[in-house]
């Protein structure tokens, strides 16, 4: 027999061999169709359950419209649904995907609950129970409609008005034991959202803080300042899945492009099919400081954010902001941002602030300058290990608005700092972690770097115990230091505690040999408490000893979410 005749012969042989089995399957097995109603990577929930004849362990084949079939095994069952685990954990089946399962014909019409061999023979047949009268009339139901109506989501304007938010108290104080200096602050704040505040589905946001701070130093005036600051007092309409347009006015942090800062004004944005968004804003910019005084800096801004698809895992955004200080032109700022967050692989986030200078800007001269940039590339590996690469750049922009520490002309012209860093964390068994960090920086005068390596151990010493140990070395602009730290703690059901010690040895740059070595010791004790009802409490105390001085500090943080 030649090769060609072999090719013709083989299918007949295979068909003959498989025919008896197929016939047997047809006689004893049947196929039920099913559909995916919910899914995640490697798993799916099906619209068929025990009453439909499915059992744990049954094989199921899903047939996506595009791509290869997905095979899996039923791992959980309820009366009318089933959980399916895919053979390939990386596959994802979209809701609505059709499929089928081949099950023994005898299951059809069989009792849906697992048989009880001991009690099945003796248990009496339960008497049928009459269903109570349906309390709800048929309303608009007509023949042919499903008996169970769809469950439409209520629109925000149809819901009862409600509050949520949190309040907090923060207190932090420090004294030196020589009694000459002290710093401290106390803050009481509230962040409140009033949903459907006026019956139109909008949200009223209010966030503010009462802030008291003091600074006592020798040979200078003490500072005692107190004030109430509103970070947000705004009304927001839309911007949800019912309404693609969004309008917010009042005082608020700009939503579309937070890089443009807090605004006393209004922001409007829209969403187009596919998920891309765009927006404009105008208003006054409060100064970003303790008091946030406003009505000197006016701004106009616009932005556009492109997303590759509805998942928004790839996006690019660009915006432009023009500001005026006391009605005089001030800053022209471009901000661009790129975000890439694939399901698996490397995340990439980058942003850049680019100032456009005109002849009006006497210090910098006309042109473009990158005044701030951030780049971050990160990866989370199987098992929880992580790797992060980062780079930053900062320079002072020329602007009349007060937004940065006071700088002189030389600093404005020359100051810049760049930093690159690598941070990694590896684990082999989720209880023992290795941690490394490397960094390097350069500025207009100097350059340096840092390195740190450490171990983190969970479930050591006692139940829930954890320990951290690390060593580090840093080359700074005014000092070189090396040191180490050690901490033990315990994770409790409602919080944690930790006790740590750190030794740093400073070698100060530019000092005589007799004064340039300064050891520094820190001991810190902290306790956190959290409750399911929204309470959160943290307290810490720290003792610092350096050269011949001692200082102690203590603080609390209390908040309640509601």
Rule CB under 8 A: which of 326-355 touch other proteins? Answer: 335, 337, 339, 341, 349, 351
Task: Choose which of 55, 64, 100, 185 interacts with other proteins (CB under 8 A).
Answer: 185
Sign of CA pseudo-dihedral 504, 510, 512, 513: positive
CA distances from 492 to 419, 425, 472, 500, 531 (A): 38, 24, 29, 17, 12
Q: What does the buried/exposed string (b/e) look like for 104-143 if buried means 16 or more CB atoms within 10 Å of the residue's CB? A: eeebeeeebeeeeeeeeeeeeeeeeeeeeeeeeeeeeeee
Task: Choose which of 64, 73, 171, 183 interacts with other proteins (CB under 8 A).
Answer: 183
Binding window for other proteins (CB under 8 A); candidates: 6-14, 54-62, 106-114, 311-319: 311-319
Backbone phi and psi for residue 105, each to the nearest 5 degrees, phi listed first: -60, -30
Residue 388 interacts with other proteins (CB under 8 A): yes or no: yes
Q: What is the closest distance, in whole angstroms, from the C-beta atom of residue 455 to other proteins in the complex?
A: 15
Task: Choose which of 29, 190, 366, 368 interacts with other proteins (CB under 8 A).
Answer: 190
Task: Choose which of 112, 374, 385, 427 interacts with other proteins (CB under 8 A).
Answer: 374
| Contact between residue 78 and residue 45 where contact means Cβ atoms under 8 Å apart | no
Task: Choose which of 71, 85, 100, 172 interacts with other proteins (CB under 8 A).
Answer: 172
Residue 300 interacts with other proteins (CB under 8 A): yes or no: no
Q: With CA atoms as reference, report the closest residue to 156 among 116, 197, 119.
A: 197
| Contact between residue 535 and residue 560 where contact means Cβ atoms under 8 Å apart | yes
| Contact between residue 305 and residue 322 where contact means Cβ atoms under 8 Å apart | no
Q: What is the closest distance, in whole angstroms, from the C-beta atom of residue 447 to other proteins in the complex?
A: 9
CA distances from 148 to 80, 112, 141, 152, 321 (A): 15, 22, 10, 12, 52
Q: With CA atoms as reference, report the closest residue to 469 among 450, 482, 487.
A: 487
The neighbouring-strand residues paired with 540 are: 526, 555
Q: Which is nearer to other proteins, 30 or 496 (CB)?
A: 496
Residue 97 interacts with other proteins (CB under 8 A): yes or no: no
Q: Which is nearer to other proteins, 100 or 231 (CB)?
A: 231
Q: Which is nearer to other proteins, 184 or 279 (CB)?
A: 184
Residue 120 interacts with other proteins (CB under 8 A): yes or no: no
Q: With CA atoms as reference, report the closest residue to 553 among 544, 562, 135, 561.
A: 544
Q: Retrieve residue 509's tokens.
A: 């740059």
Q: Which is nearer to other proteins, 122 or 139 (CB)?
A: 139
Rounded to the nearest angstrom, the gap between the alpha carbon of residue 40 and the centroid of all alpha carbons in its chain is 19
Q: What is the closest distance, in whole angstroms, from the C-beta atom of residue 118 to other proteins in the complex?
A: 27
Written as one string, the DSSP assignment of 451-473 is EEEEEEEES-SSTTEEEEEEEEE
Stretch 38-77: interaction string toward other proteins, x if CB under 8 A: x-xxxx-x-x-x----------------------------
Q: Which is nearer to other proteins, 22 or 78 (CB)?
A: 78
Q: What is the closest distance, in whole angstroms, from the C-beta atom of residue 19 to other proteins in the complex?
A: 38
Q: Retrieve residue 62's tokens.
A: 């899903």
Residue 544 interacts with other proteins (CB under 8 A): yes or no: yes
Residue 112 interacts with other proteins (CB under 8 A): yes or no: no
Question: d(Cα 558, Cα 562) in Å, to the nearest integer?
Answer: 14
Q: What is the closest distance, in whole angstroms, from the C-beta atom of residue 110 to other proteins in the complex?
A: 19
Residue 178 interacts with other proteins (CB under 8 A): yes or no: yes
Residue 171 interacts with other proteins (CB under 8 A): yes or no: no
Residue 471 interacts with other proteins (CB under 8 A): yes or no: no
Residue 113 interacts with other proteins (CB under 8 A): yes or no: no
Residue 159 interacts with other proteins (CB under 8 A): yes or no: yes
Task: Choose which of 58, 60, 81, 489 interacts with other proteins (CB under 8 A).
Answer: 81
Task: Write out the binding residues for other proteins, residues 485-504 only, by CB under 8 A.
Answer: 485, 495-496, 502, 504
Task: Write out the binding residues for other proteins, residues 240-259 only, by CB under 8 A.
Answer: 240-242, 253, 255, 258-259
Q: Which is nearer to other proteins, 71 or 176 (CB)?
A: 176
How many CB atoms sit inside 10 A of residue 44's CB? 28
Q: Which is nearer to other proteins, 105 or 292 (CB)?
A: 292
| Contact between residue 462 and residue 490 where contact means Cβ atoms under 8 Å apart | yes
Residue 450 interacts with other proteins (CB under 8 A): yes or no: yes
Task: Choose which of 249, 284, 316, 472 interacts with other proteins (CB under 8 A).
Answer: 472
How many amino acids of this chain bind other proteins (CB under 8 A)?
A: 156
Stretch 5-44: interaction string toward other proteins, x if CB under 8 A: --------------------------------xx-xxxx-
**Which residues lie below 8 Å from residue 421, measured CB to CB, with a gap of 6+?**
388, 389, 390, 391, 437, 438, 439, 440
Q: Which is nearer to other proteins, 465 or 500 (CB)?
A: 500
Residue with tokens 């070395």: 473
Q: With CA atoms as reference, report the closest residue to 74 among 115, 110, 106, 32.
A: 32
Q: What is the closest distance, in whole angstroms, from the C-beta atom of residue 286 to other proteins in the complex?
A: 9
Q: Which is nearer to other proteins, 25 or 549 (CB)?
A: 549
Q: Retrieve residue 244's tokens.
A: 């693609």
Question: d(Cα 280, Cα 257) in Å, to the nearest integer?
Answer: 10
Task: Write out the binding residues for other proteins, residues 207-226 only, by CB under 8 A.
Answer: 208-211, 213-215, 218-220, 222, 224, 226
Q: What is the closest distance, in whole angstroms, from the C-beta atom of residue 25 to other proteins in the complex?
A: 28
Q: With CA atoms as reference, report the closest residue to 501 among 481, 521, 516, 483.
A: 521
Backbone phi and psi for residue 274, each to the nearest 5 degrees, phi listed first: 105, -15
Task: Choose which of 30, 112, 411, 426 interacts with other proteins (CB under 8 A).
Answer: 411
Residue 95 interacts with other proteins (CB under 8 A): yes or no: yes
How many CB atoms sit inside 10 A of residue 423's CB? 16
Backbone phi and psi for residue 55, each to the nearest 5 degrees, phi listed first: -140, 160
Question: d(Cα 165, Cα 562) in Å, to the nearest integer?
Answer: 5
Binding window for other proteins (CB under 8 A); candidates: 17-25, 357-365, 385-393, 455-463: 385-393
């Amino acid at each position: 027999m030649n090769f060609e005749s072999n090719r013709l012969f083989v299918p007949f042989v295979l068909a003959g061999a498989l025919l008896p089995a197929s016939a047997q399957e047809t006689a004893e097995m049947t196929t039920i169709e099913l559909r995916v109603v919910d899914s995640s990577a490697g798993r799916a929930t099906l619209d068929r359950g025990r009453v439909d004849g499915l059992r744990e362990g049954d094989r199921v084949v899903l047939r996506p419209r595009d791509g290869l079939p997905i095979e899996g095994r039923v791992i959980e069952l309820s009366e009318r649904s089933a959980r399916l685990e895919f053979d390939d954990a990386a596959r994802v089946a979209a809701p609505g995907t059709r499929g089928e399962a081949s099950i023994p014909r005898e299951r059809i019409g069989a009792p849906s609950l697992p048989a009880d061999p001991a009690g099945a023979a003796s248990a009496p047949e339960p008497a049928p129970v009459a269903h109570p009268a349906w309390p709800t009339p048929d309303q608009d139901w007509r023949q042919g409609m499903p008996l169970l109506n769809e469950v439409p989501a209520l629109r925000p304007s149809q819901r009862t008005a409600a509050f949520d938010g949190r309040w907090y108290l923060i207190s932090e104080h420090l004294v030196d034991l020589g009694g000459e200096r002290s710093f401290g602050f106390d803050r009481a704040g509230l962040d409140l959202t009033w949903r459907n505040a006026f019956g139109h589905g909008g949200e009223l946001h209010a966030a503010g803080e009462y802030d008291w701070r003091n600074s006592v130093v020798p040979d200078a005036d003490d500072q005692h300042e107190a004030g109430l600051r509103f970070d947000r007092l705004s009304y927001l309409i839309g911007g949800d899945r019912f309404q693609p347009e969004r309008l917010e006015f009042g005082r608020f942090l700009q939503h579309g492009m937070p890089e443009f800062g807090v605004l006393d004004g209004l922001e409007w944005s829209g969403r187009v099919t596919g998920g891309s968004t765009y927006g404009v804003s105008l208003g006054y910019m409060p100064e970003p400081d303790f008091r946030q005084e406003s009505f000197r800096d006016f701004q106009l801004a616009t932005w556009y954010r492109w997303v590759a698809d509805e998942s928004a895992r790839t996006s690019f955004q660009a915006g432009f902001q023009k500001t005026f200080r006391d009605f005089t032109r001030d800053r022209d700022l471009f901000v661009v941002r790129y975000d890439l967050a694939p399901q698996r692989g490397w995340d990439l986030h980058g942003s850049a602030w680019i100032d456009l200078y005109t002849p009006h800007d006497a210090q910098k001269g006309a042109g473009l300058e990158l005044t701030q940039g951030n780049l971050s590339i990160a990866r989370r590996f199987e098992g929880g290990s992580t790797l992060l690469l980062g780079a930053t750049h900062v320079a002072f922009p020329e602007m009349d608005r007060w937004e940065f520490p006071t700088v002189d002309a030389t600093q404005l012209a020359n100051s810049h700092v760049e930093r690159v860093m690598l941070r990694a964390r590896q684990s082999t068994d989720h209880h023992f972690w290795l941690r490394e960090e490397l960094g390097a920086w350069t500025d207009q005068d100097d350059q340096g770097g840092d390195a740190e390596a450490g171990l983190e151990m969970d479930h050591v010493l006692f139940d829930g115990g954890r320990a951290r140990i690390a060593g580090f070395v840093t080359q700074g602009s005014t000092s070189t230091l090396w040191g180490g730290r050690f901490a033990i703690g315990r994770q409790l059901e409602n919080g944690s505690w930790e006790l740590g010690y750190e030794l740093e040895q400073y070698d100060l740059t530019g000092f005589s040999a007799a004064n340039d070595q300064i050891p520094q010791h820190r001991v810190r004790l902290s306790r956190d408490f959290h409750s399911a009802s929204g309470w959160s409490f943290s307290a810490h105390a720290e003792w610092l000893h350096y050269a011949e001085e001692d200082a102690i500090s203590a603080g609390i943080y209390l908040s309640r979410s509601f």
